[in-house]
Chain A
Amino acid sequence: MTITTSSATEFEDKSNQQMRLFKLSDVHTNDYVEARGARLRPGAQRNILVRDIPESHSYCKEPPATSSLPT
């Protein structure tokens, strides 16, 4: 999943490094992150990006882009 950040994105480092001035350039391959925010097309505009303690599982929650009732 592609995540787009912007000047409005809040970066937070909850990993063991605990960087105070954390930014996108501090994020590296195989870091474990959590992104939260509203969805925009294309990709996803995220409001908060948190680097976290690594976990073994991945998780994705997206609201449905469209919905329809069964007929």
Chain B
Amino acid sequence: MTAHTFHVNTLTVDYSGDHPKGSLANGVTVKVSGTMLNAAGALVATRVDVLQGFRGDGERTGGDRGPYHDIHVEFGFRNQRTACDDGCKHSIHARWSDSRVNVPVDVEGTFDASGVLVATSVQATPDDASLVRGLVENVNAASNTLTVLA
């Protein structure tokens, strides 16, 4: 198998096992899912999505979210500490301390000049939590419920 890699700042992503959904090019924003690093330290991607309408090479807009600076990397490392651990803002760091080793986390943020991912959001998904992803079939605002096809 031919190795296929790209870089998100200092993070190398090996996407040999998945065909990216969209066209990879310099400056595009990607969402990468994976759970392990290979021997070379690259994140082994199980899924790569190129986010349409987002570009990461524009001038930073400031603020907390925006299409020009919202580089999104989603990962759960096993037995690894992430750059976010030391680079998180204080308020996020407090939440990060609640998570545990080997608990998958979703991290969103921006890379600073030194390549540290400064998180704006860290969400842990413990093994005992429920998780559903799918299309919404129905929304009932009166009962505060929705039905998801899963």
Partner-B contacts on A (CB < 8 A): 1-6, 14, 16, 18, 20, 24-25, 27-39, 43-44, 46, 48-49, 52-55, 57-63
Contacts and interface: CB of A to CB of B under 8 A. Distances in A.
Contact of A4 (B51, B72, B145): B145
B25 to A, nearest CB: 18
Interface residues of B, number: 32
A35 B148 contact: yes
Interface string B90-123: 0000000000000000000000000000000001
B85 interface: no
A11 B135 CA distance: 16
B17 to A, nearest CB: 16
Contacts of B49: 53, 55
B127 A63 contact: yes
